[in-house]
Amino acid sequence: MLSIHPSNFHLKMTSIPRVIPILVVVVSVALSPALFGQVDFARDIRPILNANCTECHGGVKAAGNVSFVYEDRVVNFNGKSDYTVVVPGSLEESELFFRITTDDEDDRMPPPDEHESLSSEEIDLIKQWIEEGAKWSEHWAFERPRKPPVPETAFDDQAQGDLDHFLFRRLEEERLEPSPLESPGRLLRRLSLSLTGLPPELLELEIFERDYARDPQQAVEDAVDDLMSRPAFGERWATMWLDLVRYADSGGLGQDQKRTIWAYRDWVVKAFNDDLPFDQFTIKQLAGDLLPKPSLEDLIATACQRNTQTNDEGGTDDEVFRVEAVVDRINTTWQTWGSVTFACAQCHDHPYDPLRNADYYSFMDFYNNTADSDLQKDEPFVKVPKDRDRYEEAMALRDQILNLKEGIWDRGISLRDKTKWQGLKQLSVKANNNTEYEVVEKPIHDEFQTVGTVATKTHTIIEVPQTSFGEKPVTALQLTVLPFDPENSVHSPEWGFLIDDVVAKVMGEDGSVTDFCFKWSVPDVPYLPTEPMKLIGKNGAGWGADSRIHYARKLVLVPEQPLELKTGDTVSLHIHCNKTGHGSHPMAIQRGNLATSSDKRWTRFGGWKSKEYRLQREMIQAVDRLNDIPGTTVPIMANRPEELARPTHVFERGNAMEKGDQIFAALPDSLTKVARAPKSLDRLSMAEWWVSDNHPLTSRVFVNRLWEQLFGVGIVPTLEDFGSSGEKPTHPELLDYLAVRFQKNHNWSVKAVLREMVLSHAFQQSSRVTPDLVALDPDNRLLARGPRLRLTAEMVRDQSLAVSGLLSSRLGGPPVHPPLPEGVWRPFLSRDLWETPERGEEDRYRRSIYTYIKRSIPFPSFASFDAPSREFCTPRRLTSNTPLQALVTLNDETFVECAEELGRKLESSFSDAPELGLSQGYRLVTGRAANEARLEALTQLYEEVNMKSSETAWTVVAQVLLNLDETLTF
Amino acid sequence: MNLETLLDEARLRSLKRQTRRQFLSQCTTGLGAMFLAGQAQAASGGGSMPHHDPSNPLSALEPHFPGKAKRVIYLHMIGAPSQLELFDYKPDLQQLDGQACPQSFLEGKNFAFIQGTPNMLGPQFPFQQYGDSGAWVSDRLPHFSEVVDDVSFIKTLQTDQFNHGPAQLMVHSGQPRIGHPSIGAWTTWGLGTENADLPGFVVLLSGGRIPRVGKALWGSGFLPSVYQGVQCRSFGDPVLNVANPEAITRDVRRSALDTLKNLNEQTHEDFGDPETLTRIAQYEMAFRMQMAVPDAMDIEKEPSHVHELYGTEPGKESFANNCLLARRLVERGVRYVQLFDWGWDSHGAGMAEALNGGFQDKCREVDQPMAALIKDLKARGLLEDTLVVWSGEFGRTPMRENRGGVEMKLVGRDHNPGAFTSWMAGGGVKPGITYGETDEVGYSPAVNPVPLEDYHATMLHLLGYEHKKFNFPFQGLNRRLTGVKDARVIHDLIA
């Protein structure tokens, strides 16, 4: 039974017109007390400055050098006019006070012709602030949270935990009161959908109601523990996270190709199910690859930041999109963990918050040296076995392969460095096509470079006369490839080159031609997935700088036998570069030189008795074994080797094409004042910093997200902005209490903090509301009633599948392709297929989280119910209510199938008592019993349709059940 | 970022805040709550937010000032048609045909496919002047040449993107990345729609593939999802899920909806949530839409002279059919109709996309229907307040494409973001004029360049919006179609 909500507001409703929103009340409440107590800068003064002054004296523009964002640009600071802006304790000496009070229109601030003057209350506050010593305090979100004492309230007997005390205190202040408890059936439905995204079954409702009658508190606690232990829990909460980290199964721009990254999605589901503490959850995703001895799962976690968009359209510039991805990673990190609009600092200092333009680029340095670079195959990636039991084996093989590669490379590189190289001169260089080369003499060697248009599929043909080599046999050659513009390319890399074959010959004076082969090659870095280092061979595996070059690159080529050159011989190398970047840019050698050596050690090097030969055999075996393990791959984060590190430069006015000063990794001062910066700064320590002891943002931000998922509105309603231009928390003490509890008492356990939230009276109270309360608090920010939310896009579908008995409970795996309206799937690439499983096949009925997410073709029913298409971090979904949603749940193939199944289920279970079927059906979708009137309405419909077409009667009734307002809300 | 613009925006902030908040508090249902959440995010706004009826987020509204255009039909030729073969006549380029491109044209430029030094390519088709306005049009568009006096050309449109996906996004959302609202979404957010039984923003594709960035071209970005474009189709369901399941007749559906309404009203009595009332209204609207959409989309009812005018064949997916549908939709009060035609990427890499190949077929396919659309709207008195816009996403080079650094078999041109031609008609646009002039080879603007943000500002102005004040707070910025750069309305284009 529903409990009735008391409408006895103590508030005199007549004195406050209904139109006055809570917000205005809140603002006035916030301002008034200061006049009697101490002024608090952050609470009382900054809002005035932000509203009236910072547009000219702020982060974007600091007229007269004065910026009200920073203390040191205000207090005891002399602006351009040489007057001190604020002198603590002295109104006479404080230019600010003079400017806001003077009658002289030329001096008056804000300028009277453009802006309203400050009100006398505002002026009084500023006056009081200066007189009290002009104490600066940071915006609340930039100060560390401290656990406040739990307040006492008149409603304490209804409180079910500390949280309620904070909420009730506010209700008391607003002269409201909490609602009575929700009926048990509806409560279980709310708990079940909130925690697992699925509704309870009839039997579960029955058992819960029985237990609840015995001991309500125990029944609720047991239910919560049970729900949180189900795998469905992780599937529900992962969705929230995947919105933030913009998870999708396709690349985005261009052809929006398929991206195989679902192992990451499964990692997130498992992390929630295993209750992986949020600090580890954070560190692994941002820098799992840099952990000492990372596990395979640690690497999979780093795919978090590989969900950026890539562009594989023909004729695009990989470097542009690599930089875009880096920018997106920065913005997503700050948005997801910090709820700060750091993106504003890309072009200028943040207009309101103490985040400087330089902070943005210092932070960029953390992300600028990863190995991915907008390549089509999403390199680098890692093998993920299907069978979780083989993770360790796969990881051990991977380590072995990398160690062997490094060992082999080490041997080559140390010999290379010990070798005396002699630069080659008298080169003649040409190409197989229209590309032209010229040769420039340099002191040590000749250097060749292209002239004019470079054609695709250029083979660079280098010919060197015997006289250039000298008398001794040639044991090794060293090719150096340089950027065309070596200086500029360091910060703005050029298109690179990729050698896929080298054909070598010795041409005699007499016209004879002798081919020779290379038995070994030594690249300049051991391995780098985006810059293939494999041996050059006929199999197409090549070496080069793919797709960008910004430093000189070197490769040693070791001939099978030392070359014994005769007088008049010419050595000819055909270096094939057949690849193009995005179908247009020739990956050709644009500048380079050649050196030779007669060091005898190269003769033995790589021979079949050598150590490196043996290591190589071992490596090939290990690679084969790894390939044999069935599984998938996932793109990961990996750093480039230090010798190829990209320097980070400030972008002038945010434009990547205009590089300013070089800048190094750092964290914003305004935050490191509170959460100290680690000593050594790299991506790992940056990740650790986010979850360090005093961090003012991370814990607050995350508990706020959980709160919003449960209650529909965050304690800070602007989930996306905790900065001073966002909304203030409705319950600041509660936010801090939860943040500290989460971090310190629960040790970052998501389940523990969620448990505390759902066990509150606030969550368990009735959602019934009176018109007066709606008018006062339309968003239910004060929680004088329980939450009443529309199901998310995923829940709408999953619930229908669940109640009709169709839902598959299989966890994880590759994305699936449930029914899609005809004609929707028209991908740019025709090979990108949407193959829907037939009726009865399990993959047709998987939970929505497993549906293939293609960014350019969002799944229609999800899009209608406000699921984002995951291009960027989506901090919160806005809920709409449209006729197109009605068409989905009434007519979409999946929902029709669910209605048919639900109808069949009810019909067969209650064949001799249709009325019972109707009432049970109603209970199944709403969690409560149907009253007389409802049952009558349903019966009438059933009978009416049954007369016209008996075979559809149950389907039609089931459609009504699936479309009830109560069914679509929880 | 331009400081002045930001500051202008900020200046309006405190003035507007109080009144807007008071209004929004009355919106107790979903959308109202949503706006409240949105506006409160920043202590900001600058300009007025559209205030829709809380139960209907698409209620028809008045703009900032009376706009001359009440609705828009946008014809986008996906792939970027060559202005040099259609509208931008360059006799000097003919003289240069076959000569090596001067280095000054190439310095600091990015090309998708041109390598090194390409050759110049003269216009491939003869041009002639038409109408009283004397507009130059090539012989590929004989029907269109009849309506040039109703049209205003912009010859100097500019973008900063030289790849299709980002450039198409620039044209429709003012930003090169996915995730920002399209013009159609902005427009329906602002003005709502005049026919509640049809979607306010309709998208029609000529068939084949969808554009490469897909729905992002008609997405709502950070605006509420209700403002995204709804794709209507001339085969299958005209709108997704608009048809009842086979076994359910319309009167059975009516009975079901009556029961649903009855039960939902009881729910409202029990819980008092105003959102329940909105849901009841949306189900009723859906029911009406099920009749209204198929009716609007059925062109078979049109008389034969209309079919002759457009060259339509009912049942096909074609640009011609879509032009006729566009007229039927605006006639019924749809606010924004977006057409996409495709196959205009005339690189010359294959027959279908060569100037001496498929390009000529494309011209034939669009010439008659787009001219017919203007004639038809005019005859019905709709042209004066319907803005018709035609464009690609960038222009094409006066150089011949030399993909891979070699001369290709077929004739084509590469992408040129520097200058392209758009035309507009009706909706308060000054007819029979040409704005802007390109250099002697049609490579970049010589007089009056029109960056896309100016183009967008002008479109919004025609619709009655001051672009700087038409914004939505998202991620700390007041976002607008025209972005953060300074944009100006081109008053010379306005009648």
For chain B, the C-alpha Rg in angstroms (whole number) is 24
Quick one: CA torsion of A946, A951, A956, A957, rounded to 10 degrees? Answer: 60
Residue B158 has pLDDT above 90, yes or no: yes
Pick from A52, A344, A966: which is nearest to B14 by CB? A52
Bridge partner residues of B59 (DSSP): none
Q: What is the pLDDT of residue A532?
A: 39
Average pLDDT in the B333-355 region? 92
User: Topology of A420-598 in CATH?
Assistant: Jelly Rolls (2.60.120)
Q: What is the pLDDT of residue A22?
A: 33
Q: Name which of A373, A400, A646, A644 is nearest A524 in CA terms.
A: A644
Contact A871 B179 (CB under 8 A): yes
- Residue-wise pLDDT for A229-249, tens only, equals 999 999 999 999 999 999 999
Residue A427 has pLDDT above 80, yes or no: yes
- Residue-wise pLDDT for A135-183, tens only, equals 998 899 999 999 999 999 999 999 999 999 999 999 999 999 999 999 9
- The answer, for A778 touching chain B at a CB cutoff of 8 Å, is yes
Within A741-818, residue ranges assigned H as helices are: 750-758, 761-764, 771-776, 793-803
Å between B245 CA and nearest CA of chain A: 6
Who wins on pLDDT, B420 or B228?
B420
Residue A22 CA from chain centroid, whole number: 34
Residues 115-154 of B with CB under 8 A from A: 115-117
Q: b or e along A722-739 (b: 16 or more beta carbons within 10 Å of the residue's beta carbon)? A: bbbbbbbbbbbbbbbbbb
Residue of A nearest to B30 (CA): A880
Pick from A768, A822, A960: which is nearest to B271 by CB? A768
Q: How confident is the model at residue B209 (pLDDT cuts 50, 70, 90)?
A: low
Pick from B22, B208, B224: which is nearest to A878 by CB? B224
Phi, psi of B249 (to 5 degrees): -80, 165
- The answer, for A254 touching chain B at a CB cutoff of 8 Å, is yes
Residues 206-265 of B with CB under 8 A from A: 208-210, 212-216, 219, 224-226, 228, 230, 233, 235-237, 239-245, 247-249, 252-253, 255-256, 258-260, 262-264
User: How far is A7 from A177, CA to CA, in rounded Å?
Assistant: 9
Q: Name which of A791, A803, A711, A757 is nearest A224 in CA terms.
A: A757
To test the contact with chain A by mutation, choose from B21, B44, B163 the residue with the greatest count of A C-beta atoms within 10 A, namely: B163
Å between B425 CA and nearest CA of chain A: 31
Residue B43 has pLDDT above 80, yes or no: no
Q: What is the pLDDT of residue A527?
A: 65
Residues 818-837 of A with CB under 8 A from B: 821-824, 826-828
What is the SS3 assignment for A694? coil
Contact A720 B41 (CB under 8 A): yes
Pick from A879, A944, A964: which is nearest to B30 by CB? A879
Average pLDDT in the B322-344 region? 95
Q: Which of 3.40.50.2300, 3.30.70.2520, 3.40.720.10, 1.10.540.10 is the CATH number of B71-240+289-493? A: 3.40.720.10
- pLDDT averaged over chain A? 89
Tokens for A43, please give them. 């609470």
Contact B215 A863 (CB under 8 A): yes
Environment class of residue A459 by beta-carbon count within 10 Å: exposed (0-12), middle (13-18) or buried (19+)? buried
- The answer, for A938 touching chain B at a CB cutoff of 8 Å, is yes
Average pLDDT in the A623-635 region? 95
Å between A24 CA and nearest CA of chain B: 8
Residue B26 has pLDDT above 60, yes or no: no
Q: How confident is the model at residue B54 (pLDDT cuts 50, 70, 90)?
A: low
- Domain locations along chain A: 41-136, 420-598, 792-864+881-970
Average pLDDT in the A64-74 region? 90
- Residue-wise pLDDT for A506-533, tens only, equals 999 999 999 998 888 888 877 654 343 3
Contact A951 B247 (CB under 8 A): yes
Tokens for B471, please give them. 């914004």
Residues 307-366 of B with CB under 8 A from A: none
Find chain B residues with C-beta within 8 A of A583's C-beta. Answer: 113
Quick one: CA torsion of A598, A600, A605, A611, rounded to 10 degrees? Answer: -160
Q: How confident is the model at residue A642 (pLDDT cuts 50, 70, 90)?
A: confident
Q: What is the pLDDT of residue B208?
A: 60
Contact B111 A313 (CB under 8 A): no
CB atoms within 10 A of CB A808: 15
Pick from B40, B208, B279: which is nearest to A881 by CB? B279
To test the contact with chain B by mutation, choose from A119, A253, A330, A864 the residue with the greatest count of B C-beta atoms within 10 A, namely: A253
- Residue-wise pLDDT for A942-959, tens only, equals 999 999 888 899 999 999
Average pLDDT in the A829-839 region? 88
Contact B209 A826 (CB under 8 A): yes
DSSP designation for A892? S
The answer for residues whose C-beta is within 8 angstroms of residue B64's C-beta and 6 or more apart is B47, B48, B464, B465, B466, B469, B470
Residue A883 has pLDDT above 90, yes or no: no
Residue with tokens 């007519």: A891
Give the number of C-alpha atoms closer than 13 A to the C-alpha of residue A807, restricted to the C-beta side. Answer: 22
Write the CA distances from B397 to A83, B109, B400, integer angstroms: 58, 11, 7
User: How far is A414 from A416, CA to CA, in rounded Å?
Assistant: 5
Pick from A314, A653, A879: which is nearest to B112 by CB? A314
CB A345 within 8 A of CB A361: no
Question: Is the predicted ipTM greater than 0.90, yes or no?
Answer: no
Contact B214 A855 (CB under 8 A): yes
- Residue-wise pLDDT for A737-783, tens only, equals 999 999 999 999 999 999 999 999 999 999 999 988 988 888 899 99
Contact B477 A453 (CB under 8 A): no
Contact A959 B34 (CB under 8 A): no
Find chain A residues with C-beta within 8 A of B202's C-beta. Answer: none
SS (H, E, C) chain B: CCHHHHHHHHHCHHHHHHHHHHHHCCCCCHHHHHHHHHHHHCCCCCCCCCCCCCCCCCCCCCCCCCCCCCEEEEEEEECCCCHHHCCCCCHHHHHHCCCECCHHHCCCCCCCCCCCCCEECCCCCCEEEECCCCEEEECCCCCHHHHHHHEEEEEEEECCCCCHHHHHHHHHHCCCCCCCCCHHHHHHHHHCCCCCCCCCEEEEECCCCCCCCHHHHHCCCCCCHHHCCEECCCCCCCCCCCCCCCCCCHHHHHHHHHHHHHHHHHHHHHHCCHHHHHHHHHHHHHHHHHHHHHHHHCHHHCCHHHHHHHCCCCCCCCHHHHHHHHHHHHHCCCCEEEEEEECCCCCCCCHHHCCCCHHHHHHHHHHHHHHHHHHHHHHCCCHHHEEEEEECCCEEEEEECCHHHCCCCCCCEEEECCCEEEEEECCCECCCEEECEECCCCCCEEECCEEHHHHHHHHHHHHCCCHHHCCEEECCEEECCCCCCCCCCCHHHEC
The answer for residues whose C-beta is within 8 angstroms of residue B410's C-beta and 6 or more apart is B348, B349, B350, B351, B354, B355, B356, B357
Å between A329 CA and nearest CA of chain B: 15
Bridge partner residues of A581 (DSSP): A585
* Top-confidence range, A11-20, A891-900, B190-199: A891-900
The answer for residues whose C-beta is within 8 angstroms of residue A111's C-beta and 6 or more apart is none
- pTM value is 0.82
- The answer, for A50 touching chain B at a CB cutoff of 8 Å, is yes
- The answer, for B290 touching chain A at a CB cutoff of 8 Å, is yes
Tokens for A192, please give them. 């079940």
Write the CA distances from B353 to A311, B343, B359, B369, B406, integer angstroms: 22, 7, 6, 21, 18
Q: What is the pLDDT of residue A568?
A: 92
Contact A256 B228 (CB under 8 A): no
- Residue-wise pLDDT for A562-571, tens only, equals 999 999 999 9
Pick from B43, B252, B262: which is nearest to A937 by CB? B262
Who wins on pLDDT, B232 or A306?
A306
Pick from B17, B179, B209: which is nearest to A828 by CB? B209
Average pLDDT in the B379-390 region? 97
Find chain B residues with C-beta within 8 A of A822's C-beta. Answer: 236-237
- The answer, for A790 touching chain B at a CB cutoff of 8 Å, is yes
